[in-house]
Amino acid sequence: MQTGLSLQKLAEEIQFVRQNKHDLIAPTSHFRMDVTPLPEVGAISMIEVDGQGSFNVSDLAHEQIASKLKIPRKYYQRMLQEAPDLLEQSVNTWLKQHGGRHMLRTLSGNLRAVLSDAYRPLDNDMVAEAALPVLLDHKNEIEVTSTKLTDKRLYIQAKTPQLQADIRSGDTVQAGVVISNSEVGCGALNIETMIYRLVCANGLIAAKALRKTHLGRRVGSDDEAATYDMFKNDTIAADNHAFMLAVRDAVGAAFSEEVFTNQVNKMRAAAGVVLPANKVNDTVIALGNKYDLTELETEGVLERLIAGSDLTQYGLANAVTSLANSNDIDYDRVVELERMGGSIIDMPERELVTLYRS
């Protein structure tokens, strides 16, 4: 697993976002895209919102605009790169016909997300304030191993030596937790149990302890435009407080001896499921197709599986999660690979057999 940021650096980045973010809700009829082609740097895209200002459009916001207006993403990107005038005309035409309202999440003058007006902000500062005290209050028992704040998500990973076991002799694992959240519509708030393998510092995400989608109530009428701050009333504050208490409890519950023992038993069983030596290549290729691995990732899994000399279901899971130690993989993909490792351990043997027989 990548180490990511120090806790201090993470806290600084979260605080920066907290102080500089601004949300507003407006009808799409109040939006207008302005795309200015610049030969040396490419097109500069702005979204203008009546009465609220103009915002630079992030890559993620472009993806969300394309999705909401049902413009194929590849075609949208081609227009952005090769025909910015056509993109501007197309987006503005469909915005007028789209109807409804959306929440725009901005940061320091940049439009970072275009979301439903029913989106419920459960933001990273709230999650960190609920989760980190649980981890830091037990700093002699719980070690924060990795943190990251990407353009899409917040991640906090931690483990404890208080719960550990051997899968095989000398192959020790410890119980852990992964907390992840997105402020920009890229996933729910998740608290998941993790198994941390000491011999290679791999992490494997095992099960969800808590999941909360960012779905709330629509506010105001369809023709209103307003900042979201107007809607942070006592009821919403009370709802958020109650939920963050649940986050705190779920972080503590993730370090459950029962859950850890159950996962260790699954991993020990997987260590006994042997892959046919003449089917290793076929298995990895089929696995890559099943989980949408890139060709490079599939090759990396095969190399690690063979190098580890562990041609078992357990070895296959470890070959996948060891990719997460590569510094050239972005952190969002790191966590996806860790989840994939857990999914492989949970895979019934009959399903594994179909991989190398396919």
What mean pLDDT is predicted for residues 241-259? 82
In a domain, 333, yes or no: yes
Query: CB within 8 A of 290, min separation 6: which ones?
Result: 355
DSSP 222: T
In a domain, 264, yes or no: no
Please report the pLDDT score of residue 337 as a whole number. 93
Q: What is the pLDDT of residues 227-236, one digit of tens each?
A: 444 445 565 6
pLDDT, greater one: 230 or 304: 304
Distance CA 334, CA 337 (A): 5
Please report the pLDDT score of residue 209 as a whole number. 66
Identity of the residue numbered 222: D
Q: Count how many Cα atoms sit within 13 Å of the Cα of residue 145 in the half-sphere of its side chain.
A: 24
- 245 & 297 share domain: no
In a domain, 10, yes or no: no
Asked whether the predicted pLDDT for residue 276 surpasses 80, the reply is yes
* Assigned token pair, 299: 């090759």
- 189 & 281 share domain: no
Note whether 175 and 255 are within 8 A (CB). Answer: yes
- 51 & 79 share domain: yes
- 133 & 182 share domain: yes
- 100 & 131 share domain: no
- Closest-CA residue to 6 (of 149, 160, 204, 161): 149
Dihedral of the CA atoms 180, 186, 189, 192 (nearest 10)? -50
Asked whether the predicted pLDDT for residue 180 surpasses 80, the reply is yes
Dihedral of the CA atoms 39, 71, 185, 84 (nearest 10)? 10
Distance CA 30, CA 84 (A): 21
Confidence band of 135 (pLDDT split at 50, 70, 90) = confident
Phi-psi region of 71 (alpha: psi -120 to 50; beta: other; left: phi over 0): beta
- 145 & 47 share domain: no
In a domain, 36, yes or no: yes
Q: How far is CA 230 from CA 7, 150, 227, 234, 239, in A?
A: 32, 28, 6, 11, 16
In a domain, 265, yes or no: no
Confidence band of 226 (pLDDT split at 50, 70, 90) = very low
- 34 & 140 share domain: no
Least confident of 13-27, 52-66, 82-96, 120-134: 120-134
Phi-psi region of 293 (alpha: psi -120 to 50; beta: other; left: phi over 0): beta
Domain of residue 350 covers 271-357
Whole-number percent of the chain with pLDDT over 90: 56
Q: What is the pLDDT of residues 63-80, one digit of tens each?
A: 999 999 999 999 999 999
- How many structural domains compose the chain? 3
The residue out of 51, 86, 116 marking a domain boundary is: 116
Please report the pLDDT score of residue 225 as a whole number. 46
- Closest-CA residue to 321 (of 297, 340, 295, 293): 340
Residues paired with 38 in a beta bridge:
42
Please report the pLDDT score of residue 213 as a whole number. 72
What mean pLDDT is predicted for residues 112-133? 89
Least confident of 1-5, 13-17, 329-333: 1-5
- Return mean pLDDT, the chain: 87
Least confident of 9-13, 17-21, 82-86, 99-103: 99-103
The residue out of 100, 116, 132 marking a domain boundary is: 116
Distance CA 64, CA 184 (A): 10
- 109 & 131 share domain: no
pLDDT, greater one: 20 or 228: 20
- 240 & 312 share domain: no
Least confident of 93-102, 199-208, 214-223: 214-223
- 171 & 241 share domain: yes
- 30 & 70 share domain: yes
In a domain, 15, yes or no: no
What's this model's pTM, rounded to 2 decimal places?
A: 0.86
Please report the pLDDT score of residue 216 as a whole number. 55
The residue out of 65, 95, 116 marking a domain boundary is: 116
In a domain, 251, yes or no: yes
Terminal CA-to-CA distance of the chain, rounded, Å? 31
Please report the pLDDT score of residue 329 as a whole number. 86
In a domain, 288, yes or no: yes
What mean pLDDT is predicted for residues 26-41? 84
- 49 & 134 share domain: no
